[in-house]
Amino acid sequence: MATERSDKLYEAARDAQQKFDYFILGVIGAVCAFIGQSFRPQELGLNPSSLELLAVLTLFGAGVAGFKRIEATNRAVKMNSGYLRFQELRGAIVSSQGAPFINTATGRVYSHQDAASEVAALDSVIPKAKVDLDKAGDDSLSAYKWRNRLLVAGFILFIGSRVWSGYV
């Protein structure tokens, strides 16, 4: 019973996180379109127009980081699925305690020798799957941090360019 509740809660949190990522990416796109609509290019230099261009480029970088975040998160979920499948299969084989058994999901019959060789194979695959899963999680977190940093920097640069243009 507790597993079902925790699975439902995890699924709800994952869905909320994905929707938030999509929302932020949409906001970044809308802000870039808004700035681009009113942008009047001038000679590059120490002026509000150059600061506004820098704001657009920074926000574009935030958009790229947002896409990378979604991509890395999807990769991590896929890798987590494989990692859990390996762990569950290994657990089912080990719990048979050497007696022949049938994998009810696949219909495969495991003899004692089959079980021992399968456990050995899984023991070599599981650590690599864990390393790959951790890397995907780290990539997702890194993209999340860069997206947020660049988004805040882009907003600050844009507001600075608008305030500065009032004094020119």
pLDDT, tens digit (0-9, with 9 covering 90-100), for 111-143: 778 778 888 898 999 999 999 999 999 999 999
pLDDT in tens, 4-52: 888 898 899 999 999 999 999 999 999 999 888 888 888 888 888 899 9
What percent of the chain clears pLDDT 90, i.e. is strictly above it?
A: 59
DSSP the chain: -HHHHHHHHHHHHHHHHHHHHHHHHHHHHHHHHHHHHH-----SSSSHHHHHHHHHHHHHHHHHHHHHHHHHHHHHHHHHHHHHHHHHHHHHHHHTTTS-EE-TTT--EE-HHHHHHHHHHHHHHHHHHHHHHHHHHHHHHHHHHHHHHHHHHHHHHHHHHHHHHTT-
Residue 98, pLDDT score: 65
Average pLDDT score over the chain? 89
What percent of the chain clears pLDDT 70, i.e. is strictly above it?
A: 98
The average pLDDT across 135-162 equals 96
Residue 101, pLDDT score: 72
